[in-house]
Amino acid sequence: MKTLIKNCRIISPDMDIAKASVEIDGAFIKRIYTASEKLPKADKIIDAKGKILMPGFIDIHTHGAAGCDVTDATPKAISTIAAAKVKEGITTLVPTTLTIPENGLAKALKAVAAYMKKKSPEGPKVPGVHLEGPFINPKCAGAQNPAYARKADIEEIKRLDAIAKVMIVSYAVETEGAYEFTTKLLSMGIVPSCGHSAATYEQFRQASCCGLKHLTHFCNQMTPLHHREIGLVGSGLLDNNILIEIICDKKHVSPDMIRLAFKSKPIDKIAIITDSLSASWMPDGPMKLGGLDVMVENGTARLKQGGNLAGSTLKYNEGLKNIYEITGLPLCQLIKTTSLNQAHSMALEKVAKIEAGYYADIVILNENFDVSKVFVNGRLTVNN
């Protein structure tokens, strides 16, 4: 089936074309047409009415939405989360777990694996999972449950990876055996990411030499910048080889820090995430996260005991709007942080560009960044 999306503003990495059209053939983009070119016939023609068309978003760090958490460990929970997240413009999703016992992680990954095996899921693609923990520093647990923190164990990762592909593991690099663990993750094709950590710059540097690739939810639950010890925050700003995740809800990271990060880092080393929890797409009120009590007030989730931020209720398209307003950078640069950088980091092929031969994973937004339509593999999944 051929679909033609006409009269749109195409935004792709380093490309911004007004009054253009995109031809989709099956699951793939066939061709881009400029305003002066004759348009082809198609089985379905969609008039975008001047709206923005860009690559679908890739969220590599999200725990839940619509009242469900990945660690609820049911196929229904994963499908519910996916159905909510695709409405944010997300076309590739990496479900993220918490610091819980291994049997709980195994159940969660079985539920994700069941979603991955669906031939035509009504939601985003899921290439695998992100394990946030359990190998964290309990002193930097944040909204993770420190009772379940444990020493890095590559055998546990192998057992879990056999259930569903593990794409990313977040762990504290200063803990026992973490450097060797980093190397072994790389050998398995897994992205090593430091998070919930009290590491010094020297410990970060050693982990980086072993192959560390990411910093998990930058600035949150990691050693802050200090003029005599730059910590992980300073490491992330200084090292141009490390990719930093940023929760762009303006709560986890202030607008000034977002501006500083975008000014200091190469644009291809930033990935915006939601770190959303089950309270996303839900009204305020009490909830649970990894067995801990959380209260959501005015869209902000905090632990009842201690008041730590506990993930976000951020929708991905709102995060893009925030960084656009905060940084003032052109969209054709900013969208590298919403899809291309993630795709490169996880070696996902033929996604994150509006280009012939790439998958037709597309989001259409209005000028206020509200989601109008979403295509996954050329299939119209969201139609507002």
HEC readout, 7-46: EEEEEECCEEEEEEEEEEECCEEEEEECCCCCCCCCCEEE
Q: Which residues contact 82 (CB under 8 A, 6 or more apart)?
A: 93, 115, 121, 122, 123, 124, 126
Q: Is 92 exposed, middle or buried (0-12, 13-18, 19+ CB in 10 A)?
A: buried
Identify whether the C-beta of residue 274 lies closer than 8 Å to the C-beta of residue 61: yes
Instruction: Look at strands 2-12 and 52-55 and give their pairing.
Output: parallel
Q: What is the largest CA-CA distance in the chain?
A: 65
Q: Can you tell me the distance from the alpha carbon of 373 to that of 67, in angstroms, rounded to the nearest whole number?
A: 23
SS3 345: helix
Q: Can you tell me the distance from the alpha carbon of 88 to that of 276, in angstroms, rounded to the nearest whole number?
A: 12
* Residue with tokens 């592909």, as numbered in its chain: 165
Q: Can you tell me the distance from the alpha carbon of 190 to that of 324, in angstroms, rounded to the nearest whole number?
A: 31
Q: CA nearest 264: which of 327, 320, 170?
A: 327
Q: Can you tell me the distance from the alpha carbon of 7 to that of 17, in angstroms, rounded to the nearest whole number?
A: 10
**The two three-digit tokens of residue 279, written as one number:** 């309270």
Is-catalytic flag, 275? yes
How many CA atoms lie within 13 Å of 238's alpha carbon, on the beta-carbon side?
Answer: 14
Identify whether the C-beta of residue 224 lies closer than 8 Å to the C-beta of residue 217: no
Strand partners, 20: 8
**The two three-digit tokens of residue 233, written as one number:** 């925050």
Which of the following is catalytic: 69, 239, 275, 361? 275
**Exposure b/e, 238-257, CB count within 10 A at least 16 = b:** ebeebbbbbbbbbbbbeeeb
Active site residues: 275
